[in-house]
Structure 1
Amino acid sequence: MKRQRRPRKAAKKQRVEAEAWDDEAEVDEESRETSADEPDDTGWKTSTAQMAGVSRLIRAGVWALVVSGPVLGTLAFLSSSTPAQGVAKPVPTATSASPVGPAGFAELFVSAYLQAGQGTERDLAPYYSGSLVLAVKPGTRTATQSTVLASREVQPGYWSVTVAADVTTHNDKGKPKRLGVQYFRVGIQAAGPAGGTAQGTTAGYVATSLPAQVAAPTSLKPGGLAYETDRGSSSADPSVETARGFLAAYLTGTTELDRYTSPGTRLRPINPAPYAAVKVTGAQDDATGASQQKVPADGTVLHQLVQVEATDQAGSPVSLSYALTLKSRAGRWEVASVDEAPAIRASSAPSAAPPTTTTTTPSPGAATASPSPSPSNS
């Protein structure tokens, strides 16, 4: 009997141990399932079902981007090409009108007007479209020279131009007589780009009336020059002697300029030489000393105005003036430059010249013309 109890006890013990292992396995499985469903320390819940859902969402988003890519690109292109609301459109910059075209047209018109006469009124058609009858004989007057003195835009596209013409008249036998410089003012309308107006695409010009002869501009007296010391034409003055030698070489080409110029100065003589001889008739400079018998220290600068009488190849004398800058070196004066214009005193301005009595010779002939309508202010 005792031998039968021991196997039973052993079998019972094995069953208990097996049931304990089964319980532990069930507990472990439940804990794994519970841990998968419950949030971890970071607060996130992870489960197989949830992970599968996230993967499907990611795949769907990628495919949505792939499919919508061309559509988004097209929308971006259209939005970039369409101006944004509220952004001001660039306004084209207005080009200022140039006076060159109207001035040249007026000069041509005055020259044609002076030469035209009865029966040749059509010669003025390219410049003036109004009807007119000229009483002067054609060719009675000519402009040997002409130039524009003033050009002013009085209205957009409308110019007032003053032309100076050196007029010569011819009598019935063709003998010329110079009348001198006369001044004519003309109104010129310009159209197209050259006139600075919006009308038309091609530049064009037209005179609004025949020229009006006007008075000469006011004569002026120049401001004070900076050369206050008169040296005369004395060859005893070293600066005058340098100027004489330099100008002789410059105008006649008989000697080299290098012997009279400062090192590094680049000057060339006139070629071919226009004169055979040069004589100094006067010289002024801005030195303070009354006499310049001795050359001052090296580097001293002297501004000089020299008047010369140059004799051309035919033996005719010609008066000329030259503004020079001299610089001292090694006990002698050298020419540093031929100045562009005589030096004037600081704050010096021209003044009105005293009036002179002149006799004005009226231009022969007369003309009647139907006035053209003046340009409107609009």
Structure 2
Amino acid sequence: MKSPLRPQRARGAGTEQADANEQGWFVDEMGEEDSHSQEAYPAEQGGWATASVGAVANTVAVIRWTAWVLLVSGPLLGLLALVSQPTVTAAAPPTVLKSHGVQDQAGPAGFAALYVTAYVSAGQGTESSLSPYFPDVRDLTLSAKTGSQEAEQAAAVKVKQISGGYWSVTVAARIHAIGGSKKDGSAGDPGGEPDHPAGGTLRYFQVPVKEAASGALVAVALPAEVSAPDVGAPPELDYGLAAPAQSSDAAVKTLQGFLGAYLTGGSDDVDRYLSPQTHLSLISPAPYRQVQIVQLAEHGTDEPGSNWPAGRALPDRAQRQLLVTVDATGTDAQTRPLTYAIALKARAGRWDISSLDAAPGLKNAPATAGQEGETS
């Protein structure tokens, strides 16, 4: 920065000294101004800014230790990431539901029974009556006389699945001829005897049933008449030997009152024989007018009631499982036997009905919920 202009002095004696003084003043003035400029504007200094040797050493040490930490922790962090990876659980495959699929055997069984009923009555000129069951019947011609026989009853007795959506159904049908005779086999012979006894003859037909793509059922072929299925061996019940009902058994009194009210609709209130929280709907209208307990079989003993002799106090919540056979006399004065699986439970010194079981117990059979009226 330049100093302000000063007026020139005349040169002569003392001029040099004056110049020297003037120059010295100028230098001091410039030096003072420069020092002020340096203090006011330090950022305007040129060159590299340097730090102390100690600061640089510390910085280098920090960088060195940071590098070592990263070098050592790298493998550890990788191992930790590998171990802590979340377990991937395979998603369960979606359940595919068929919109029109036959899910059980009831459909094929009922379809086959209807088909056999229509088939037995069909004949020449009525082939189309089989079309709802067997579409290919349009290519067939029946020669039998329409209505020469009919099925009074038809029911599926065996269903075997051949493959997915394909079954073989065996149908039992009670068939009787219309107007046939043993004399000459002609229909409508007034002097002839009926071909079959009253009630018809039980015959068996095997029907192949297929589920179509639409979900509808169709017969693959005409019915095939077959022999009766084998009769299976009777299952072993989970009760001891049956014995005549004894009036000394306190349970017999309860059973007599309960079944009498249940089957005949008598004056007794059936609820009085039931355990608390047990409910049972009555048969209406009542089909019988008299009931008599005939015999008992009890789970765990061949002598029903032997574990509970007369006069012995009954502990609350003691239980018995019985198979009860009764003779029931209907309004037609005819007597028919009936069998009930019944569970008893002791309460306040007497036996109550705790459940009317859906079926008798079988040996080595898994326990299932099959009781009517048991709510607790």
Question: What TM-score do the two structures reach when normalised by structure 2?
Answer: 0.65
* Residue 109 in structure 1 maps to residue 115 in structure 2: yes
* Residue 164 in structure 1 maps to residue 163 in structure 2: no
Cα separation, partners in 2 of 1:212 and 1:327, compared to 1, 3 Å:
same
Question: What one-letter code is carried by the residue in structure 2 that aligns with 1:32?
Answer: A
1:330 paired residue number: 348
Determine helix, strand or coil for the equivalent of 1:122: helix
* Residue 178 in structure 1 maps to residue 199 in structure 2: yes
1:187 paired residue number: 208
User: Which deviates further from its counterpart, 320-329 or 122-131?
Assistant: 122-131
How many pairs align? Answer: 292
Cα separation, partners in 2 of 1:334 and 1:158, compared to 1, 3 Å:
closer
Cα separation, partners in 2 of 1:229 and 1:242, compared to 1, 3 Å:
farther
**From 251, 258, 269, the counterpart of 1:239:** 251
Determine helix, strand or coil for the equivalent of 2:351: strand
Separation of aligned partners in 1, 2:14 and 2:130: 157
Cα separation, partners in 2 of 1:335 and 1:121, compared to 1, 3 Å:
same
Matches within 5 A, 1:117-266: 117-128=123-134, 129-130=136-137, 131-155=139-163, 157-171=165-179, 172-173=187-188, 177-194=198-215, 203=216, 205-254=217-266, 255-266=268-279
The offset of 1:256, in angstroms, is 1.0
Matches within 5 A, 1:279-290: 279-286=292-299, 288=301, 290=303
* Residue 311 in structure 1 maps to residue 323 in structure 2: no
Are the aligned partners of 1:301 and 1:327 in contact in 2 as well (CA < 8 Å)?
yes
Question: What one-letter code is carried by the residue in structure 2 that aligns with 1:154?
Answer: I
Separation of aligned partners in 2, 1:337 and 1:91: 41
Taking every aligned residue pair, what percent have the same amino acid on both sides? 35
**From 291, 303, 314, the counterpart of 1:278:** 291
The offset of 1:17, in angstroms, is 1.7
Which structure would you say has the larger RCO, counting Cα contacts within 8 Å and 6 or more residues apart?
A: 1
Are the aligned partners of 1:275 and 1:311 in contact in 2 as well (CA < 8 Å)?
yes
Cα separation, partners in 2 of 1:328 and 1:188, compared to 1, 3 Å:
closer
Are the aligned partners of 2:328 and 2:337 in contact in 1 as well (CA < 8 Å)?
yes
1:263-313 deviation digits (Å, cap 9, x = unpaired): 222223223322222111222212548434325433221111111122223
Cα separation, partners in 2 of 1:38 and 1:153, compared to 1, 3 Å:
farther
Are the aligned partners of 1:231 and 1:285 in contact in 2 as well (CA < 8 Å)?
no
Unaligned runs of 5+ in 2: 1-11, 57-92, 180-186, 367-376
The offset of 1:13, in angstroms, is 4.6
Separation of aligned partners in 2, 1:148 and 1:287: 36
1:79-137 deviation digits (Å, cap 9, x = unpaired): xxxxxxxxxxx999484764555444333221111011233233223333243343432
Determine helix, strand or coil for the equivalent of 1:221: coil
2:29 paired residue number: 18
Pairwise CA RMSD of aligned residues?
3.8
Cα separation, partners in 2 of 1:27 and 1:182, compared to 1, 3 Å:
same
1:353 paired residue number: none
Unaligned runs of 5+ in 1: 44-89, 195-202, 349-378
Are the aligned partners of 1:169 and 1:178 in contact in 2 as well (CA < 8 Å)?
no
The offset of 1:324, in angstroms, is 0.7
Larger Rg, first or second structure (1 or 2): 2
Separation of aligned partners in 2, 1:144 and 1:316: 24
Question: What TM-score do the two structures reach when normalised by structure 1?
Answer: 0.65
Separation of aligned partners in 2, 1:264 and 1:101: 37
